[in-house]
Homo-oligomer: A and B are copies of this chain.
Amino acid sequence: MSETSARRGGYVDSKDQLRRRLQRIEGQVRGITRMVEEERYCLDVLQQIAAARAALDKVALGLVDDHVKHCVLGAEEQSRDEMTEELMGALERLVAGR
């Protein structure tokens, strides 16, 4: 992380939209906590968890899109391979959950 933290996020142009989507997900998770406090039926809780997860996936894919367009394609020739490697590591975690 230390190595990459100097780089800017490729999502900067759509930062506000991204922030709003994350705040909505935060609200979704808060709502799920409330459902648990009210001892709601487990499968209703599960359904909301699946919805929050799908929303996170959407944000993740948006970040991948921004990364390819603005970081990988915008980079100097010599850093592209490294950036593609990093991207593949991130995708592995997303696709295969590892």
Binding site for B on A (CB under 8 A): 1, 4-12, 15, 18-19, 22-23, 25-26, 29-30, 32-33, 36-37, 39-47, 49-50, 52-54, 56-61, 63-69, 71-73, 80-81, 84, 86-98
Are A97 and B54 in contact, with the CB atoms below 8 A?
yes
Q: How many copies, total?
A: 4
A51 to chain B, nearest CB (A): 9
Q: With the chains together, A70 CA to B84 CA distance in Å?
A: 11
A50-B94 in contact (CB<8A): yes
Complex Cα spacing A60 to B49, Å: 7
Identify whether the interface residues of A are mostly helix, strand, loop, or mixed.
Answer: helix
**Closest B-chain residue to A4, C-beta based?**
B41
